[in-house]
C-alpha cells in the first residue's frame, strides 16, 4: 500500500510540474494580448487625431486658396485698368507727337509756373480715386479736353500725396502739348520727372521735354535731355527713341 501511495504522489508531482509552465505561458499570452490591444487602441486614437488634423489643414488650405484666388482676381482687374489707362495715354500722345519724356531740371528752365485752363472742372467727390477716374473719363469718354485739364489741375492741388499724382501730371503735360501750349506741357512733364522719378511715365516725360526743346529750336538743351534719357534708361524703347532723335540733330 505504501508503494501505491508513493506512485500516486509521484504522479501528482509530475502533473503539477507540467501544469505550472502551461499556466505561466497562458498568463504571459494574456498579458501580451492585453498590451497589443492597448497599443492598437492607442494607434487607432492617434490615427483619428491625425485624420482630424489633416481635415482641419485641408480646410485651411481651401480657405487660403480661395483668398489667393480672390486677391489674384483683384490684382488682375487693377492691371487691366492700368493697361487701359496707359493705352489711352499713348493714343492721346500719338495725336501730338510720336515720342515721349523729360528731365526735371532742364525742363523747369523753360517751363511756365501757371497753367490756366478753359472750362470748369467737375465738382470734387472728396474721393481721390473717383475724382481721378472722373478726370480720365473726360479725356477717354467725352473728349472734353478743356474740362479734363481743369479736373486734373484741381486733382493735383487737392490730393498732393495721391499715388495718381504722376499720371495726373502726365495727362496735363500731354493735354497742353496737344493744345500747342508747349511751355505748360514742359512744366508738367518736368514735374513727373523731378517729383516722381520712379513713375512708369518718368522716362517718357523726360523724352517729351527733349522733344519740346527740339521743336522750340533749342537743340543744345534737347541734346542734353536725350543724352540723359539714353544714360538713365539704357536698353529701353524710350532710350532707343532718344538715340534716334540724337542721330537726327
What are phi and psi for residue 30, nearest 5 degrees? Answer: -60, -40
Cα–Cα distance measured from residue 129 to residue 182, given in angstroms and rounded to the nearest whole number: 28
* pLDDT reading at 118 higher than 60: no
> How high is the pLDDT of residue 218?
93
C-alpha 69/C-alpha 125 separation (Å) is 32
Residue 77 has pLDDT above 80, yes or no: no
Quick check: 165 pLDDT over 60?
Answer: yes
Average pLDDT on 107-135 reads 68
Q: What is the mean pLDDT of residues 147-167?
A: 96
- At 231, phi and psi to the nearest 5? -75, -35
Domains and CATH numbers, the chain: 84-248 (1.25.40.10)
Give the separation between CA 118 and CA 22, rounded to whole angstroms.
114
Rounded Cα gap, residues 197 and 205, in angstroms:
10
Mean of the per-residue pLDDT values of the chain = 76
Tell whether the torsion through CA atoms of 225, 194, 146 and 148 is positive or negative: positive
φ and ψ at 164, to 5 degrees?
Answer: -95, 5
Q: Rounded to the nearest 5 degrees, what angle is found at the Cα of 37, between the Cα atoms of 32 and 38?
A: 100
User: What pTM does this model have?
Assistant: 0.56
Q: pLDDT tens digit string along 51-75?
A: 777 677 767 666 666 556 445 544 4
Task: Give residue 11's pLDDT band: very low, low, confident or very high (50, 70, 90).
Answer: low
Q: Return the SS3 of 101.
A: strand
Amino acid at each position: 500500500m505504501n508503494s501505491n501511495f508513493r506512485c500516486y504522489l509521484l504522479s501528482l508531482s509530475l502533473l503539477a510540474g507540467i501544469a505550472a509552465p502551461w499556466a505561466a505561458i497562458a498568463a504571459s499570452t494574456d498579458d501580451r494580448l492585453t498590451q497589443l490591444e492597448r497599443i492598437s487602441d492607442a494607434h487607432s486614437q492617434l490615427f483619428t487625431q491625425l485624420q482630424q488634423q489633416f481635415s482641419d489643414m485641408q480646410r485651411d488650405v481651401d480657405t487660403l486658396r480661395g483668398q489667393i484666388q480672390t486677391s489674384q482676381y483683384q490684382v488682375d482687374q487693377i492691371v487691366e485698368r492700368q493697361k487701359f489707362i496707359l493705352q489711352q495715354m499713348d493714343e492721346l500722345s500719338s495725336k501730338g507727337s510720336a515720342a515721349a519724356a523729360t528731365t526735371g531740371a532742364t525742363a523747369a528752365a523753360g517751363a511756365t509756373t501757371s497753367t490756366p485752363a478753359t472750362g470748369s472742372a467737375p465738382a470734387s467727390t472728396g474721393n481721390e480715386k473717383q475724382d481721378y477716374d472722373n478726370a480720365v473719363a473726360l479725356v477717354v469718354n467725352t473728349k472734353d479736353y478743356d474740362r479734363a485739364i481743369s479736373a486734373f489741375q484741381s486733382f493735383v492741388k487737392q490730393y498732393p500725396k495721391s499715388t495718381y499724382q504722376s499720371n495726373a501730371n502726365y495727362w496735363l503735360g500731354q493735354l497742353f502739348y496737344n493744345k500747342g501750349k508747349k511751355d505748360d506741357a514742359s512744366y508738367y512733364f518736368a514735374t513727373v520727372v523731378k517729383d516722381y522719378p520712379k513713375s512708369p511715365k518718368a522716362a517718357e516725360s523726360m523724352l517729351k521735354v527733349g522733344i519740346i526743346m527740339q521743336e522750340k529750336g533749342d537743340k543744345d538743351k534737347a541734346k542734353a535731355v536725350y543724352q540723359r534719357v539714353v544714360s538713365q534708361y539704357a536698353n529701353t524703347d524710350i532710350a532707343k527713341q532718344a538715340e534716334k532723335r540724337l542721330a537726327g540733330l
